[in-house]
Amino acid sequence: MGVGADGVGKGEVSSNPPLQGTLTPFAPLSENVSPLMEAFVIHLNWQRFTGFLRLRETFRGRPCIYLQTDPEERVLRVGETDDPWDRYVGGTAYAVEAAMHGSGNLFFAALAPADAVERKRLEATLIYDLQPLYNNQHKRYRPMQRTEHIHEGDVPRGITP
């Protein structure tokens, strides 16, 4: 059985819902940036979620970076995972959902690099830049290797360009 352009075998059905946008680390940044620099810029196409279970299903089997925000969309926490479905199994996912119940807090998520080192570097950069209340690591010192990134899509209001 062959594999189609979407990575799913021909005749098979993907269990993952479609994502808005894709991870495009080679997308043009601007006319003033060299092609070499463009290769190192990650475009974060954010999607908004009112609950954690929907985020977990949407990004099932896909590496992502996610933000937890308050109702005014100020970032409270930054996280990363290679697969939210596997990382937040069963009761853990429902505990997160229950803790959010009625709070008005939100989640935002975007595709992230599959490489764990690159993804953790991106997470550390975002934590340092955003200084979220509920992250303890990466807040005091600038990462030795920053990840250049651009926020796109449904960007939380608490993130300023």
| Pairing verdict, β 41-49 and 148-153 | parallel
- DSSP lists the bridge partners of residue 148 as 41
CATH class of residue range 35-153: alpha beta
What pLDDT is stored for residue 161 in this prediction? Answer: 63
What pLDDT is stored for residue 19 in this prediction? Answer: 52
Per DSSP, the residues of 105-157 read -EEEEEE--SSHHHHHHHHHHHHHHH--TT--SSSSS--SS--EEEEEES--T
Q: Encode pLDDT of 4-52 as tens digits.
A: 444 434 443 334 444 554 444 444 444 555 454 455 799 999 999 999 9
- Percentage of the chain surpassing pLDDT 70? 75
Statement: residue 73 has pLDDT above 80: yes
- Percentage of the chain surpassing pLDDT 90? 66
Tokens of 148: 């250049």
Q: Encode pLDDT of 131-152 as tens digits.
A: 999 999 999 988 889 999 999 9
The mean predicted confidence, pLDDT, of the chain is 82
Residues in the chain: 161
Any idea where the domains of the chain sit in the sequence?
35-153
